[in-house]
Structure 1
């Protein structure tokens, strides 16, 4: 018997919502070089996963690629893996969606290649124990988990290089160990050294099973020929490996009987995912422990501490939780559909498109930092919601619901043209859907510090939304506000607004922010009323000085709106002053004494207009967030903050009122 069995794996996926240029570049640099080189080495078997998103694109753009893949499947050189069609984070999506996505990809593979997959790919190796039952129900016989996950399950030493068996509710599934670190080193290591290291036998003479999924072979220069040369060097080295090393696939391994140890794996993922799910403070502690482990100071105890559980992405990024909450809410709406199975199926497929993992995480590059990926997900969720609404039956409404699953109720205005979701924290609007396009104009992204950020950066203390109220010191300027260095003011973003009145019949909600106990302008009470009519959202304010002393301040409200980009073709800003219209630059600026401001949305072909009951000053602050996408760390556009500013002087007991009107249309 060969002492070491090596499984060469390849995971291939381009996220839903990526532009065609991104697909084509990945195809040229990654997908084509790997398969073309593998084709020339028929003695080297491989286990390959392609997401349904990618397969669909390949079928349309490069059918010749799938023809070659078909030939390699037929000659039993390639074993194809199943999984979720749109590459979802399996633990996060409802059971019925999980099963539906797996069956959708399984059906595609069976019809296109004549083979039903037996193995399931888990994005980021994300695992929760209850997955075992649903995966086995879908006909999946095996999965892959990383070496650290094996160790955390108590499979130490040689046991981390052998198969394991796990179960849930009596349903069993086999687990293959993935040598994550070895796979990462394979991207740059000398292939001959790699082959030599894996050819050695286990110390106890037992069989070793090593599975590697190299993250990337693509050349940093973007040279497809260089990429192909690196892959060829590996396959040549493997072709001449000594007899102790057997190249194989999971299906072949499972055909031979062997003793398998049973284990239960904690909720976890590959180390990179666990690392990036941590906030900055926890990451520092984790890095300290990791340094001690690398020096041997923990005496093997490193397997007992984690970075962060994968679901922590929903805590670290409020934007991810917002998208997750919308996904769960839409899932519930679709499940309430009765009688029309075609409409229900269409709604579900739109829902599944929005469940791709990339819009929910950031693992050092891309992910939810990508404005386009989030917008594609919201677009599909809004489409699913529209399909779920019955024509002639839907009635506009406002409902108190714990939408974002935080134990507090939010208020959902659902109109024929707009959705407007209001939270009591900050009394702000956190989702604003224009249904006709469809587009969530509050798909914003807060500025935060990532591990790769250097120097001083602007960090937001809250999720960016609309109608976030501020009482500013009279000498505060737009530059200080843009840099978040304004002092001597009161920010109401995290203050709790209480419900005064909910008028369901007229779709009105009135909230009150009581005076606070301390701080600047603490005696000011804010009452705001939300009214949704067709394509217009009106927010009315009444401010009252409940203190014994007069107060003088500037009242401002942040209104973030997110567009496809800041280029003139995607977004143009203009304003109306004394019946004269003029254009304004999309940069940190102040417009004085305007009557109305317009943002022309080039992507959706409509105009967003912000007006008021009287003229106002407007601060314009483009929100750009530092992030790494495609290896490049730079600031990228996320939203445009329009901030109406008005001077207010209130004597004790005096009140002041104003109104803002946000309108969407052509």
Structure 2
């Protein structure tokens, strides 16, 4: 009887920085019950992948799972895959980090299980044509991607029932096409329908191979899947069906199949990820056009219409979200510092120790391994993009990237600084957006300035490992057009999280929070308003900017004393106004001085957008008032105020040269996660307001000091 081979490749991952209770919930609902189910069906073979940080967590918190995996490996029941240790999108890393992360993961698996993986999992299956070389150099022979990659290369359906070879500069790897049909069927369609599809493939002749390559969280963590898979028995029924039909169906592994069968042929895959990722990477209008065109074409070509349309490349997220681009470009430059420091380690064969002080969270022994792992943790993919998971929109995931990258930067600078070196300065178009930037790392602080809007993009404390300006802009998303006030589940059927009909809301009234900013939520932004403007209008982006400074380039230059000057001559209500502002580093903060020249009557306001790890619980102390960070407020005759965060043990104190009005309001976004659409607090906008009527010049100044929250 004809036989079909089936590879069930399951990928398990939790983002760096995710809450421990989320790890625990995923373990109890998916990772552990899946292993128990697999153990109970000894005739089946599987391929498993765990990201390095998840495997480290399991080893520490649940060694019983490590014992189960060890037994399954020794019995030949499972193949473990390697991959980037902290689940990075490999193509967007420096090549040295790509290879080292994979080798580190391979070594970790070998050390733990006495088993050397030959294959790897590619994070988000993001493929670019140059990748075979670095993958081969990392010691990897094969990996799964998606059948969508192959279809974009013109491979027909029959040739998807096997594996192919590909190469770059003669460096070869084998690639297996993961079936989209199986991704959408398992575990969502009836077991009988899944088995009928497998039976149909078995009748094509030869030794056809089908591969499922998908997330393990779909077996218990995704909405309603725990009851569906375990309480209602879907997974037990599926595993039993696989065993009961072993006369025509055989579960296998990548290593076993490629050792026994020749490749179908050679293929050169284009830049791609799974099909849905390309849609998410598009700008909102493009994503809506894509969805409309796909639905129209399905009427003509059915599911084959998916092969004729493609969305954006994964790197398009750096265009769609400037905040992601900033983290990525900072990561690239910090990586260079780290590898220079590692090289210095090797030359000096020495160790450095960073002592605990009032500005550092931990005392730690600085070694090449600790330095590299801090960098690599900051390369974890999840907070660099956004699709149906929270991703970039989740403040705790973004802050985790900053935490590890800033720590890596501080550690590298500790190694690299020579006698008398007090600051590290980088100049140029550092974030590759066409505007000149200056990044100054001095003492505990790192500040990143740009010509674009004369803005301060980042103000980080390396000791506290936090970027205080990490606030996400409120922007439209394609799915905003589909938000309704209906319940999340209007059908008893369990659906994949990719099903557009699943879109629901986590709270009522979300439509009121669909507010979009006209500019990026940076800091040191210069506004000119009418006298009669109200705070609510600013908060809702329902006002007219009287000046042309937001979104326009400033002249950016370094000045003596370790700071920068930003200047621009523009128009305000038809009159010429020049802004000259300087920022100087102080021992525990920064000093900002403005000189305005020209003629103007109205409100001038400097905007800062501030976040303490995205937490709404730090307190704002303005005069005798104490408010929560996410409160809205307007305060007159202010000479000073401060923000205090007990978790970070940190205080940011603002002192003004003369009285100002201080306005503040929360920045809240509406974003999609696997559980539905939700409102998220991103940070707080602060406006330092002055009412002016001058014809000549006017000076304004203030100081920002950082200290402990006493």
TM-score when normalising by structure 2 = 0.88
Alignment of 1:396-435 (within 5 A): 396-435=423-462
Per the alignment, residue 351 of structure 1 pairs with 375
1:42 aligned counterpart, secondary structure: coil
1:296: how far off? 2.4
Find 2:657's aligned residue among 613, 631, 640.
613
Q: Deviations over 1:327-369 (max 9, x none)?
A: 0010111232243146443322111001111011112112111
1:488: how far off? 5.2
Whole-angstrom CA distance in 1 between matches of 2:576 and 2:405:
42
Moved more, 7-16 or 460-469: 460-469
- Tell me: CA distance 1:488–1:61, structure 2 relative to 1, closer, same or farther (3 Å): closer
Q: Deviations over 1:515-547 (max 9, x none)?
A: 24xx735522111111112221111111111xx
Per the alignment, residue 582 of structure 1 pairs with 625
1:660 aligned counterpart, secondary structure: strand
Per the alignment, residue 512 of structure 1 pairs with 567
Whether 1:556 aligns to 2:608 is no
Moved more, 453-462 or 297-306: 297-306
Whole-angstrom CA distance in 2 between matches of 1:526 and 1:57:
52
Residues 44 and 247 of structure 1 are in contact (CA less than 8 Å); yes or no, is this contact kept in structure 2?
yes
Find 2:244's aligned residue among 226, 234, 240.
240
Per the alignment, residue 474 of structure 1 pairs with 531
2:67 aligned counterpart, secondary structure: helix
Per the alignment, residue 303 of structure 1 pairs with 307
2:473 aligned counterpart, secondary structure: coil
TM-score when normalising by structure 1 = 0.94
Per the alignment, residue 524 of structure 1 pairs with 577
1:589: how far off? 1.7
Per the alignment, residue 172 of structure 2 pairs with 172
Residues 610 and 662 of structure 1 are in contact (CA less than 8 Å); yes or no, is this contact kept in structure 2?
yes
1:180: how far off? 2.2
1:28: how far off? 0.9
Residues 83 and 101 of structure 1 are in contact (CA less than 8 Å); yes or no, is this contact kept in structure 2?
yes
Alignment of 1:92-111 (within 5 A): 92-111=92-111
Whole-angstrom CA distance in 1 between matches of 2:201 and 2:146:
20
1:560: how far off? 0.7
Find 1:386's aligned residue among 395, 410, 422.
410
Find 1:537's aligned residue among 557, 580, 590.
590
Residues 469 and 493 of structure 1 are in contact (CA less than 8 Å); yes or no, is this contact kept in structure 2?
yes
Per the alignment, residue 364 of structure 2 pairs with none
Residues 164 and 263 of structure 2 are in contact (CA less than 8 Å); yes or no, is this contact kept in structure 1?
no
Find 1:289's aligned residue among 289, 293, 299.
293
Size of the aligned set, in residue pairs, is 650
Residues 548 and 570 of structure 2 are in contact (CA less than 8 Å); yes or no, is this contact kept in structure 1?
no
Moved more, 197-206 or 162-171: 197-206
Whole-angstrom CA distance in 2 between matches of 1:298 and 1:234:
28
1:158: how far off? 0.7
Find 1:494's aligned residue among 532, 551, 557.
551
Cα root mean square deviation, aligned: 2.0
- Tell me: CA distance 1:110–1:522, structure 2 relative to 1, closer, same or farther (3 Å): farther
Residues 182 and 212 of structure 2 are in contact (CA less than 8 Å); yes or no, is this contact kept in structure 1?
yes
Give ranges in structure 1 of 5+ residues lacking alignment. none
1:234 aligned counterpart, secondary structure: helix
- Tell me: CA distance 1:259–1:13, structure 2 relative to 1, closer, same or farther (3 Å): closer
Per the alignment, residue 84 of structure 1 pairs with 84
Whole-angstrom CA distance in 1 between matches of 2:609 and 2:545:
23
Whole-angstrom CA distance in 2 between matches of 1:281 and 1:161:
36
Whether 1:626 aligns to 2:670 is yes
Per the alignment, residue 211 of structure 1 pairs with 211
Q: Deviations over 1:364-417 (max 9, x none)?
A: 112111111111111111111111113663322544232212243201122102
Q: Deviations over 1:537-593 (max 9, x none)?
A: 111111111xxxx5311000110111134443xx011023xxxx4313542221111
Whole-angstrom CA distance in 1 between matches of 2:407 and 2:223:
40
Whole-angstrom CA distance in 2 between matches of 1:557 and 1:236:
66
Whole-angstrom CA distance in 2 between matches of 1:138 and 1:287:
38
Alignment of 1:25-44 (within 5 A): 25-44=25-44
Whole-angstrom CA distance in 2 between matches of 1:566 and 1:90:
30
Whole-angstrom CA distance in 2 between matches of 1:221 and 1:264:
37
Alignment of 1:123-134 (within 5 A): 123-134=123-134
Whole-angstrom CA distance in 1 between matches of 2:575 and 2:24:
56
Whole-angstrom CA distance in 2 between matches of 1:595 and 1:491:
28
Per the alignment, residue 74 of structure 1 pairs with 74
1:127 aligned counterpart, secondary structure: coil
2:145 aligned counterpart, secondary structure: strand
Moved more, 458-467 or 552-561: 458-467
- Tell me: CA distance 1:129–1:522, structure 2 relative to 1, closer, same or farther (3 Å): farther
1:259: how far off? 4.5
Residues 418 and 435 of structure 1 are in contact (CA less than 8 Å); yes or no, is this contact kept in structure 2?
yes
1:513: how far off? 1.3
Q: Deviations over 1:48-104 (max 9, x none)?
A: 100001100000000001101110111011110110110000110111101111011
Whole-angstrom CA distance in 2 between matches of 1:243 and 1:14:
37
Residues 521 and 551 of structure 1 are in contact (CA less than 8 Å); yes or no, is this contact kept in structure 2?
no
- Tell me: CA distance 1:376–1:220, structure 2 relative to 1, closer, same or farther (3 Å): closer
Per the alignment, residue 361 of structure 1 pairs with 385
Whole-angstrom CA distance in 1 between matches of 2:135 and 2:650:
45
- Tell me: CA distance 1:259–1:147, structure 2 relative to 1, closer, same or farther (3 Å): closer
1:419: how far off? 0.9
Give ranges in structure 2 of 5+ residues lacking alignment. 352-366, 484-510
- Tell me: CA distance 1:367–1:131, structure 2 relative to 1, closer, same or farther (3 Å): same
